[in-house]
Structure 1
Amino acid sequence: MNSQSLLNACRNKQLDPVFASVYGTSDLCAVHDRFCALIEGFMHHFGEAADLSLFSAPGRTELIGNHTDHQNGCVIAGAVSLDAIAAAAPCAEPVISLVSEGYAPIQVSLSTLSPQESEKNTTAALIRGVAAEMAKRGYAVSGANIYVSSNVLSGSGLSSSACFEVLIGCILNEFYCGGALDAQTLAKIGQVAENVFFGKPSGLMDQMACAVGGCVYIDFADLSAPKVVPITFSPDAFDCALVIVDSGADHADLTDDYAAIPAEMKQCAAFFGKTLLREVNPDTFFDSVKELRTQATDRAVLRSIHFFNEIERVNLLKNAMEANDQPAFFQTVLESGRSSWELLQNISSPSHPNEQSVALALTFAQRLLHGQGAVRVHGGGFAGTIQAYVPHSMLDAFVNGMEQVLHPGCCHVLTIRPVGCLKFAID
């Protein structure tokens, strides 16, 4: 559909049934206003398009499995109700032009599909990486004009980078791969873009959750074919809300802190002649701690202990979710959070010892919950967000209390989104 016709259809609410299939019906006015603004933004920057399409990719929340994916471990994650949306059209010139609200326009020439040192830690690197991985798979990827609007804020702990990678992958998949690449493949492409082109070590959990959608248990033991098991879950089943709390600190200069975790875990794996901790027998590991300490740092050993214990907790949480066992669910979440703080040590950065925003947020969340629900660090840690399960009867008091300590608007009440990345089916 051409851009003007698409805008008219959106303004006339003809697209509301399509939007309702993803966002539900409770706030459709805000949804269609958001998409009208998106299309208008595209037309303002790129002019008329003969064939304009709309796309969406959700953010993700890690329910458990903190820093296990980069060791081919297990995780449970879910797509969330916040997302990045795009209006996009293909173009013949091999250049991807992207405008993202609030950021400077970007142009990426596809004449070069190798990592560029000057692009490290930039959005351009992610775009180039996604295109390069598709080209490597034999697809003739060319240009596109893309206008993006996202409420998955950078540094929110909801994986804005993975959401973006998957969104770009979804767009190029539709334009140049005939939609042939499935969600898991798009996730793997996004991970390569982030690891190799952007320069940030990461596992596959973030991209997989954003691409697949819903709530999923993922076992990365066989990285070429991860085991993905959908889990029917809603916090409402436990009469609580899922709240992501922004601590006020961001991830801007913490790449070294993140990178140290997989590096130290691999250091311990290497002691046993393995590459990753998932390849090490847990009993062998624990029986060898004394000898291991002569070859690896104590912090590396503690972080590795977290890994093995967290793998067990992932399966405990899966069982609790499937059995609708609220006490076991909350207890497992709390134990995961305690392990992240004490063993994984990703609550604050050693290079910023006076910055303790996440620790402060966790402490006051626990105080406000009065032993109810559960709370843990969310995602990569060191800065960013925490995750809380708050009984509905306590939600208003919890939000007000956290805002008094942190800042207004720090709490985001989220739901699990049932679908992953997609092109909206519009006739």
Structure 2
Amino acid sequence: MHDHEAVTRTAEAFHAVYGTAPTGIWAAPGRVNLIGEHTDYNDGFVMPLALPHTTVAAASARPDGVLRLHSGGADGGVVELLIDELRPAPAGTWAAYPAGIVWAMREAGLPVGGADLHYESTVPAGAGLSSSAALEVATALALNDLYGLGLDPQRLARLAQRAENAFVGVPCGIMDQTAAACCTDGHALFLDTRDLTRRQVPFDLAGERLQLLVVDTCVKHELGDGAYAQRRAGCERGARALGVRALRDVPYAHLSEALDKLADEPVVRDLVRHIVTENHRVEEVMSRLDAGDTRAIGPLLTAGHASLRDDFKISCAELDLAVDTAVAAGAVGARMTGGGFGGSAVVLVEEADAKAVTTAVTDAFAAAGFVPPRVFTAAPSAGARRLV
């Protein structure tokens, strides 16, 4: 859905729901993480990029303290809430995410009132592509403009994270919201999750005749429930055992000594090895992209998948098959992306090989009896923005 089409469709839907035209229309993208998985809650480095897929919000302010929410992709009609009565609602519906933004802004002392909002989205839900962060950031940007708050993109990202952590009850890091708010067209975003310093890293796929494919496995295994908390606790245990604030503080050059200290805790040792090597891979990818050698990041992506599979143990048969098949079919590199146990993989391919690699992956899934994957191209795109 291009911006012009998104504006027309969303404005018409807003009018159909609320009987008037919206004050404005805003968009925020989903994201795919190029490299840097599970490093964010270890104060480490990540490198996401914004997808062309967006959540679009049409909105108008209301003077009466009423928040009305409607989504073109959800059943149940308009959700109506009173902003003075908003309370954290873990395990709530989709509406908890935008409601959480209003709550987080008001909790921070910001003068936010009621609003009418309608949403349309092309971000695949449940694919590990941060559809929730896109929804949050689109809402935050709309309210920022409607109420003249003057907040910068990073502040909006932090408010969105606060909403998801404290209101919705999801203990996510800051990467997804920062990617949605701060990415720029044609770049990957290097983010230091400790101090939130960031820089835009050129990622010129078209100029090098490359494509980045996203393979949505269309599965999410129940094994993933609770696994995030287990991995996070294990990383914190490793940091304590090594006497550091976070695993980000273990130098790559001293990894062997660190692992020796954890010889009696093999599970923690493996988690530590992944985090330290993954931070190093992010820095190596940035160095290669800065040098204009995009193809050279391929082996780093594939190595990252092996680390997530073998050390962090969060891959699954579908992700492994997607990565292994893509590389065997000529991909430059591939890896799972996101939290694990399903979701998506990213595959870096030569433009000329994209169709063959896609066919090979699709055929391999059919032969294995898996749900057919959804494969699409991810171009590094713009972050959150006002459309009209």
Both structures adopt the same fold (TM-score exceeding 0.5): yes
Report the aligned-residue RMSD. Answer: 2.3
Partner of 1:44: 16
For residues 352-371 of structure 1, what are the structure 2 equivalents within 5 Å?
A: 356-369=317-330
Distance 1:36 1:327 in 2: 39
Q: Secondary structure at the match of 2:218?
A: coil
Distance 1:316 1:309 in 2: 10
What letter matches 1:219 in structure 2?
D
CA contact (8 A) 1:120 1:197 kept: no
Alpha-carbon deviation of 1:219? Answer: 1.1
CA contact (8 A) 1:95 1:143 kept: yes
CA contact (8 A) 1:61 1:78 kept: yes
Partner of 2:205: 235
Q: 1:93 to 1:259 in 2, by over 3 A?
A: farther
Q: Secondary structure at the match of 1:247?
A: strand
Distance 2:83 2:53 in 1: 30
Answer yes or no: is 1:187 the counterpart of 2:187: no
CA contact (8 A) 1:108 1:127 kept: no
Partner of 2:179: 209
Alpha-carbon deviation of 1:248? Answer: 2.2
Q: Give CA deviations for 1:147-189 in whole Å, capped at 9, x if unaligned.
A: 111110111222111111111111111122x141111111111
Q: Give CA deviations for 1:201-258 in whole Å, capped at 9, x if unaligned.
A: 2211111111002221111232xxx111111212223321110001120377834122
Q: 1:304 to 1:149 in 2, by over 3 A?
A: same
What letter matches 1:221 in structure 2?
R
Q: Secondary structure at the match of 1:248?
A: strand
Distance 2:94 2:268 in 1: 31
Distance 1:76 1:231 in 2: 9
CA contact (8 A) 1:163 1:207 kept: yes
Q: Give CA deviations for 1:317-347 in whole Å, capped at 9, x if unaligned.
A: 1010010124432122222122111112110
Q: 1:151 to 1:390 in 2, by over 3 A?
A: same
Moved more, 319-328 or 280-289: 280-289
Distance 2:180 2:40 in 1: 15
Instruction: Select the residue among 261, 275, 280 that pairs with 1:312.
Output: 280
Partner of 1:334: 302
CA contact (8 A) 2:217 2:372 kept: no
Instruction: Select the residue among 350, 356, 363 that pairs with 1:404.
Output: 363
Answer yes or no: is 1:108 the counterpart of 2:78: no
CA contact (8 A) 2:262 2:268 kept: no
- What TM-score, normalized to structure 1? 0.82
CA contact (8 A) 2:250 2:258 kept: no
Distance 1:316 1:138 in 2: 41
Alpha-carbon deviation of 1:125? Answer: 2.9
Instruction: Select the residue among 377, 382, 386 that pairs with 1:413.
Output: 377
Answer yes or no: is 1:383 the counterpart of 2:342: yes
Alpha-carbon deviation of 1:415? Answer: 0.7
Corresponding residue pairs, total: 378
Distance 1:300 1:379 in 2: 20
Partner of 1:9: none
Q: 1:368 to 1:243 in 2, by over 3 A?
A: same
Q: Secondary structure at the match of 2:150?
A: coil
Q: Choose between structure 1 and 2: higher strand proportion.
A: 2
What letter matches 1:378 in structure 2?
T
CA contact (8 A) 1:374 1:390 kept: yes
Moved more, 94-103 or 388-397: 94-103
CA contact (8 A) 1:234 1:415 kept: no
CA contact (8 A) 2:110 2:149 kept: no
- What is the aligned-residue identity percentage? 28
Distance 2:213 2:294 in 1: 17
CA contact (8 A) 1:235 1:389 kept: no
CA contact (8 A) 1:60 1:210 kept: yes
Q: Secondary structure at the match of 1:111?
A: helix
CA contact (8 A) 1:200 1:259 kept: no
- What TM-score, normalized to structure 2? 0.90
Q: Provide structure 1 residue ranges, at least 5 long, that are not aligned to the other structure.
A: 1-26, 349-355
Distance 2:112 2:31 in 1: 27
CA contact (8 A) 2:69 2:95 kept: no
Instruction: Select the residue among 75, 82, 91 that pairs with 1:120.
Output: 91
For residues 76-225 of structure 1, what are the structure 2 equivalents within 5 Å?
A: 76-104=47-75, 105=77, 106-116=79-89, 119-176=90-147, 178-214=148-184, 215-222=188-195
Alpha-carbon deviation of 1:281? Answer: 5.4
CA contact (8 A) 2:205 2:294 kept: no
CA contact (8 A) 1:122 1:198 kept: no
Q: Secondary structure at the match of 1:62?
A: strand
